[in-house]
Structure 1
Amino acid sequence: MRILLNGCGGKMGKVVIEAAKKFDNAIIAAGIDNFTKDSFDFPVFKTIDSCNVSVDVILDFSRPDALEDILKLAEKNNLPVVLCTTGFSDDQIEKINAFSKEHAIFRSGNMSIGINVINNILKNISAFLYENYDIEIIEKHHNQKVDAPSGTALLLGDTIKAAIKADTVYVNGREGIHKREHNEIGVHAIRGGSIVGEHEIIFAGQGETIELKHTAISREVFAVGALKACEFMQGKSKGLYNMDNVLNS
C-alpha cells in the first residue's frame, strides 16, 4: 500500500513515518509539505497538485485549508482519502459529505482506537444517564493546537447529543453569573505545554459522578489508527467512512 502523506513535515507526519516502518504492507511513497526543510526517504512536494508519484491512498495530517486540493487530486486519480485533520468548517464538512457520494473518503475526529471505544460506550449510556445527570466534557491539548474545542471533543459531544432525544446545546466554557441549565453539554478546552491529548466526559448526578477518561501518552496511537484506516480504505470506491467501520471490519 503506497501512501501519499500530506503534512509529512509536521509533528504527526513524522510520527506516521516512523509508525509505517512497523507495518508490513504500508510505505510512505511521497509526501507533501510546503514548509519542511527536513530530508526524507521519499520525494516531498511543496504542493499536492505537483505530486507525480503513483499512490494507493491519500493520508492527510495537515490543515483544513488543504481540503480542496486533496479532493481534486483524489478525484483526478480515483484515490481514497483518509482525513485526520480537524477544525473543518460547516461548508467543508458539506463538501466532504458530497464528495463521498461518488468517491471514497474517511473522516474521524480522533484516530485513537481507545477514543472510539469510549465513543461507542457513549452511544449506549448517554440517553439513559441524561435524565438524572449533567454532562460536561473537558479536553486538554498542547499549546500549539489550532482548533478549540478539539475535533475529538466535538466527536464525543455529537455522539452524546445524537443519543439523547431531548434538544441539547453546547456551552463552551462559562464565565460570570451562569446557572447551569440541564440541557447544556459543557465543553471546556485547556491548552498548555506538550499535552498530547486528554478527554474526559463527566456525568454529574446527585451524590455521585461517573467519569470516562482517555489519555493519549504518545502520538503513535493516532498514527497507528491512521495507518489502519488507510489499510481499510484501500480499494474502496465510494462512501463516507469513520473509525467505527475500521473497528468493525
Structure 2
Amino acid sequence: MAAAPAKGTAAQAPHRVAVAGASGRMGHMLIEAIRASGDCQLAGALDVPSSPAIGNDAAAFLGHASGVPVTADLQAGLSQAQVLIDFTRPEGTLAHLRACRERRVNAVIGTTGFSEAQKQAIAEAARDIAIVMAPNMSVGVNVTLKLLQLAAQALATGYDIEIIEAHHRHKVDAPSGTALKMGEVIAQAVGRDLKECAVYAREGVTGERDPSTIGFSTIRGGDIVGDHTVLFAGTGERIEITHKSSSRATYAQGSLRAVRFLAGRRSGLFDMFDVLGLR
C-alpha cells in the first residue's frame, strides 16, 4: 500500500508533458523516459500529418496504452500540457512555439540549426512563456562545456583550438549545434567572436594556420549518436576534452530536468547552465 502524504502536505501533481516528433527516435526515447519517471505524465504527442503513427496510442511501441493518441492537431496535442519538449526541425519548432505561446505552454527546445532570425523569434516568444533552449540536453555535455570554458581561459594563448564532431548519417545540419555551442563558449572565454574566427572547411593550399581561429571538422556516418572532441594543441603538448554519447537516453533525462526547472516559471529564456546551476 502506498504511503499517505505527510500531514499538512499534498502529493505533488505530475508535470504534464507533450512531446513533438512523437514517433521518431528521440520522441520514443522521451516518451519512455516520461513513462519511467516518477513525476512526469505524458499529456500530448505531436507529429506531422504524414506520420503513420497518427491516431495510434503514443506508447504503443512500448506495448502499453498511455491514453494519449499521436496527433497533428497542435491545439489538441497541447490542450492538456504544461510544457512541450521539441527535438524536431527549426520550421516545425517555430510553428509549435507559436501554438505554445497562444496557450501559455512552456517549452524545452533541443532542436538545432536555427538561423539568427529564428533565434530572435524564440527570444521574443520567451517574453510570454518560459523556455529552456540548448543544442544538447545531456548533463554530461553541459558539464563538458563548463570544463571547456575553464580550459580556454587558461589556454588562451599558445594553443590552437580545433573542434571535431561525429554523428549518424541521418543528421541534416553541420557542424552540430553542440559543436557550435562549444565554439561559442570557447570564443567568449578567450575574448573572440566566433562569427569572425570560425573556420568550417579547409581544402587545397590554405597557408599557415591563423592562431586566432577556431577550426571545425565534421564526420557523418553509421549510427553514431554524438561524439565531440575539442583539441587544444600547443608546443610540446596536446589537451583533448571529449564527450561521447552512446544513447539518446541522456538527452531525454536532461530534458526532464529542464521540465522540472520550468515548473512555476511563466516567462524567460534559459539554457542548461541555468537548469544545472553552472552559471
Q: Is the 8 A contact 1:143 1:191 kept in 2?
A: yes
The equivalent position to 1:235 in structure 2, one of 247, 264, 271, is 264
Q: Describe the superposition over 1:65-94 as per-residue Cα deviations: whole angstroms up to 9, x where unpaired.
A: 113322222221111111011111111001
| Number of equivalent positions | 249
The equivalent position to 1:32 in structure 2, one of 46, 51, 62, is 46
SS of the residue aligned with 1:85? Answer: coil
Runs of 4+ more than 6 Å apart: none
The answer to whether 1:183 aligns with 2:179 is no
- Once the two structures are superposed, the pairs formed by residues 44-193 of structure 1 within 5 Å of their partners are 44-51=70-77, 53-166=79-192, 169-178=197-206, 179-193=208-222
The answer to whether 1:3 aligns with 2:17 is yes
Structure 1 pair 52–120 and aligned structure 2 pair: CA distance change class (3 A):
closer
Q: Is the 8 A contact 1:29 1:43 kept in 2?
A: no
CA distance in 2 between partners of 1:59 and 1:176 (Å): 43
TM-score, with normalisation over the residues of structure 2?
0.85
Partner residue, 2:223: 194
SS of the residue aligned with 1:175? Answer: coil
Q: Describe the superposition over 1:155-207 as per-residue Cα deviations: whole angstroms up to 9, x where unpaired.
A: 11000011112456110131111121001100111000000000000000011
Indicate the structure (1 or 2) with the bigger Cα radius of gyration.
Answer: 2
How far off is 1:237 after superposition?
0.7
Answer 1 or 2: higher relative contact order, Cα 8 Å, separation at least 6.
Answer: 1
Counterpart amino acid of residue 37 in structure 1: P
- Aligned-residue sequence identity (percent) comes to 38
How far off is 1:50 after superposition?
4.5
Mean CA deviation greater in 103-112 or 193-202: 103-112
Counterpart amino acid of residue 10 in structure 1: G
Q: Is the 8 A contact 2:78 2:105 kept in 1?
A: no
SS of the residue aligned with 2:19? Answer: strand
The equivalent position to 2:35 in structure 1, one of 4, 16, 21, is 21
Structure 1 pair 130–69 and aligned structure 2 pair: CA distance change class (3 A):
same
Unaligned runs of 5+ in 2: 1-14, 59-65
CA distance in 1 between partners of 2:212 and 2:171 (Å): 29
Q: Is the 8 A contact 1:133 1:203 kept in 2?
A: yes
SS of the residue aligned with 1:4? Answer: strand
SS of the residue aligned with 1:224? Answer: helix
Partner residue, 2:5: none
Unaligned runs of 5+ in 1: none
TM-score, with normalisation over the residues of structure 1?
0.95
